[in-house]
């Protein structure tokens, strides 16, 4: 066997001149497969095939399948945290903040519905240490939402700031990904406005209209 035919273990092919682009392809392939089949049902070979990467080079770029799962979930969760904190820390009044939180959250979870599907389906696939890392970002999201509810309640604009309500609102918005369809009747921003009206006004009609 000639030296030219032997590739050093863990070394990427010479043709891969852009490691960042290669890693992005791998992440995209893994995200699609995890969303379609689940983390446990997806093999490293399948990820490589879909990304067009040989297995040796694949391990050079990712380290492990769990590392891929963690990075996919972390990138999305960190983005959600950063947006929620940005809105909560803005100069808007509490109701305007809540409107912006709802709209931004719905739009982002639709844009990242693969990641949300993975997070819901494979919540227990990571190690306790990895899950703890993600929990830091989730706690940040929850604190930002709670801050807005607290401000609204203190200003007399919201009837309650109970954390049960805050948790339930965020959970309801997350579940939009379970039924959203690109060819459906409503766009993400329209869905957000419908849900926002329900959150602010409730579903019951005023007593004089019942």
Question: Are residues 35 and 71 both part of a single domain?
Answer: no
Question: Are residues 44 and 89 both part of a single domain?
Answer: no
Q: Whose CA is closest to 113, among 195, 163, 182?
A: 182
Query: pLDDT tens digits for 7-51?
Result: 334 444 444 456 678 888 999 999 999 999 999 999 999 999 999
As a whole number of angstroms, the distance between CA 105 and CA 111 comes to 10
What is the predicted pLDDT for the residue at 63?
Answer: 79
**The pTM is what?**
0.82
Tell me the CATH number at 44: 1.10.10.60
Tell me the CATH number at 189: 1.10.357.10
As a whole number of angstroms, the distance between CA 98 and CA 84 comes to 10
Question: Are residues 41 and 15 both part of a single domain?
Answer: yes
> What is the arithmetic mean of pLDDT over 194-203?
86
Residue 3 counted as domain residue: no
Domain boundaries, position 49 = 9-63
Question: Are residues 85 and 129 both part of a single domain?
Answer: yes
User: How many domains, in total, are found in the chain?
Assistant: 2
Q: Are 149 and 166 in contact (CB under 8 A)?
A: yes
**What average pLDDT is seen over the chain?**
86
Question: Are residues 43 and 81 both part of a single domain?
Answer: no
Query: pLDDT tens digits for 123-170?
Result: 889 999 999 999 999 999 999 999 999 999 999 999 999 999 999 999
Cβ neighbours for 163, distance < 8 A, ≥ 6 positions apart: 146
Question: Are residues 70 and 153 both part of a single domain?
Answer: yes
Question: Are residues 164 and 190 both part of a single domain?
Answer: yes
């Amino acid at each position: 066997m000639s030296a030219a035919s032997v590739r050093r273990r863990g070394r990427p092919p010479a043709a891969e001149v852009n490691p960042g682009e290669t890693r992005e392809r791998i992440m995209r392939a893994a995200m699609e497969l995890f969303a379609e089949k689940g983390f446990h049902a997806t093999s490293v070979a399948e990820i490589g095939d879909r990304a067009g990467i040989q297995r040796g080079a694949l391990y050079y770029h990712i380290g492990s399948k769990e590392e891929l799962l963690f990075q996919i979930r972390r990138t999305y969760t960190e983005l959600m945290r950063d947006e929620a904190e940005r809105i909560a820390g803005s100069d808007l009044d509490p109701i305007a903040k809540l409107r912006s939180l709802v709209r931004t959250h719905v739009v982002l979870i639709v844009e990242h519905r693969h990641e949300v599907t993975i997070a819901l389906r494979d919540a227990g696939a990571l190690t306790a240490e990895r899950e703890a890392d993600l929990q830091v970002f989730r706690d940040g999201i929850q604190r930002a939402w709670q801050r807005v509810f607290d401000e609204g309640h203190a200003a007399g604009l919201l009837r309650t700031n109970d954390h049960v309500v805050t948790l339930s609102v965020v959970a309801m918005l997350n579940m939009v990904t379970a039924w959203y369809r690109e060819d459906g009747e409503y766009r993400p921003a329209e869905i957000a406005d419908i849900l926002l009206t329900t959150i602010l006004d409730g579903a019951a009609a005023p007593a004089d209209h019942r």
